Amino acid sequence: MKLKVLHHDPAAHERKAGKITRYYRNPDPQLHPFERAREYNRALVATKLDKMFAKPLVAVLDGHTDAVKCMARSHKRVADLFTASCDGELRFWNMPTRTCTKAISAHDGFIRGLCVSPDDRLLFTGGDDKCIKTWKVEKNEGMTAMDWDEVLDEGNLVRGEEIDTSKLAKEVPALNVYMAKSAVTSLDHHWSRHLLVSTGDTVDIWDHHRSAPIQSFEWGCDSVICARFNPAEPCLIASTASDNTVGLYDLRGSSPIRKVLLKMRSNAVSWNPMEPLNFTVANEDCHLYTFDMRKLDIALNLHRDFTNAVLDVDYSPSGREFVAASYDRTIRIFRVSESRSREVYHAKRMQRVLCCRFTADTRYVVSGSEDTNVRVWKAEASKPLGPRPFRERQAMAYRDALKRKFQHLKEIRRIARHRHVPSLIKKHTEKRRIMAQAKKRKEENLRRHSRPGAVPFESVRRKPIKKQIE
């Protein structure tokens, strides 16, 4: 007779009850048993270091004597920036040296439209004086010694003193002047042809060699606010109007294609350069809406976080991000696929931001505000400027990979999303959150106490849209 030996295992009943969890590790001697814990700790430290070294403001370009109303950048030369103010002054900036190379008294009154030709040789401006003017842009343009001597003599200044750049503005004759029928609210140039689109009471198409518009569009609105050419389809134009509509126009036809009516007015529109079917509009309801032009009855995405009207929007040349400027004195950078902003930039003395642009190399963001200053920001707030050694670049790439690997964990996500904002914006954000929750709760109560189908559920992306007009 064989006796069965029983070995006492005090944890056997606990394992059967599911109270003890066994952890299996890779027996490979090349792998450390606590490798994941080490990587998580390094990702956490890297996320905290990003917050510590985040200094996005690079430079402040001053010299304008009135609010900076609009701006444009060169297509091929990263160093060139052009800004226009509400007093009719046009300025040419050299970004690396942070200096104004030319200042021109271009218009009487506001300059509301500014664009550059695809070859970066011509600059077009339009304003309240119903004029569209053409200016020549020279490569590596700057102030000569003779120009500086004239400024010194006229201002009775002594060489070596700080020069008031407002005295650089001169009456320079324009290459061409086109007379519009109404005040020009925006300008945009065709991506390949010698065509120009201007907005006012109508949407007008101009040729460089003709003094009158070759084509005009009108669709039952008092004024058109903004218009932009599609970067891929050369005949397509998107526009926003004062009657809360966003319209599409085709140069090959004599009438508009379609438009969508929103609940509030849109101030600006921008096409995605890498996905030309999609465009984003900046709306008065503090939100931005990304649409697919093939289906305008619902927005692809709704981008929020602003607490006041959004005034301008511009896409990065990569097509992955866009920057928006708001009346609440901040600018925000959004990823195309996300509804919340990735970065928010503000300064203590910065007033309402009227315009913003991405630079051609996607590394910087430029904003113009009512305090007459042009500010240059880093697109990545914690990235260092200038060239880096090879080992430092390797370390930065390793830290970025760790942050992407653990980005969804609670603590890292909380630290990465946190932003310091002014107290007024924080209060307005909390107030808007409470109002949105109350409205949502009211809709749910109505739906719960009504007969089925009487109060249908409406998507957030469809709520701002009233109807689509063919």
Residue 262's CB is within 10 A of a number of other CB atoms, namely 22
Could you give the CA distance from residue 227 to residue 139 in angstroms, rounded to a whole number?
A: 28
Kindly write down the DSSP assignment for every residue of 212-262, as one continuous string: S-SEEE--S-S-EEEEEE-SSSTTEEEEEETTSEEEEEETTSSS--EEEEE
Residue 233, both tokens: 């389809």
Q: Where are the domains of the chain?
A: 57-129+131-179
Q: Which of 82, 122, 119 is nearest to 104 (CA)?
A: 82
User: What is the SS3 assignment for 109?
Assistant: coil
pLDDT of 23 strictly over 70: no
DSSP state of 438: H
Half-sphere exposure of 463 (CA within 13 A, CB side): 12
Percent of the chain with pLDDT over 90: 67
Q: Please say whether the beta carbons of 216 and 209 come within 8 A.
A: no
| pLDDT at residue 13, rounded to an integer | 54
| pLDDT at residue 172, rounded to an integer | 77
Task: Report pLDDT digits (tens) over 209-238.
Answer: 898 999 898 887 888 999 999 999 888 999
Q: In three state form, how does the secondary structure of 167-213 look?
A: HHCECCCCCEEEECCCCCCEEEECCCCCEEEEECCCEEEEECCCCCC
Task: Report pLDDT digits (tens) over 254-284.
Answer: 778 888 999 999 999 999 999 999 999 999 9
| pLDDT at residue 11, rounded to an integer | 54
pLDDT of 45 strictly over 80: yes
| pLDDT at residue 24, rounded to an integer | 65
Task: Report pLDDT digits (tens) over 91-133.
Answer: 999 998 899 999 999 899 899 999 999 999 999 999 999 999 9
The mean pLDDT value for 337-357 works out to 94
Q: Which of 329, 381, 384, 320 is nearest to 356 (CA)?
A: 329
Percent of the chain with pLDDT over 70: 87
Q: How confident is the model at residue 29 (pLDDT cuts 50, 70, 90)?
A: confident
From residue 190, alpha-carbon distances to 83, 117, 249, 251 in Å are: 20, 8, 14, 12
pLDDT of 350 strictly over 90: yes
Helix (H) or strand (E) holding 314: strand 310-315
Q: Which of 106, 110, 99 is nearest to 69 (CA)?
A: 110
Report the mean per-residue pLDDT for the chain.
86
Task: Give the pairing of strands 99-105 and 111-116.
Answer: unpaired
Could you give the CA distance from residue 451 to residue 91 in angstroms, rounded to a whole number?
A: 63
Under CATH, domain 57-129+131-179 is a member of which superfamily? Answer: YVTN repeat-like/Quinoprotein amine dehydrogenase (2.130.10.10)
pLDDT of 85 strictly over 70: yes
Task: Report pLDDT digits (tens) over 409-437.
Answer: 999 999 999 999 999 999 999 999 999 99
| pLDDT at residue 151, rounded to an integer | 39
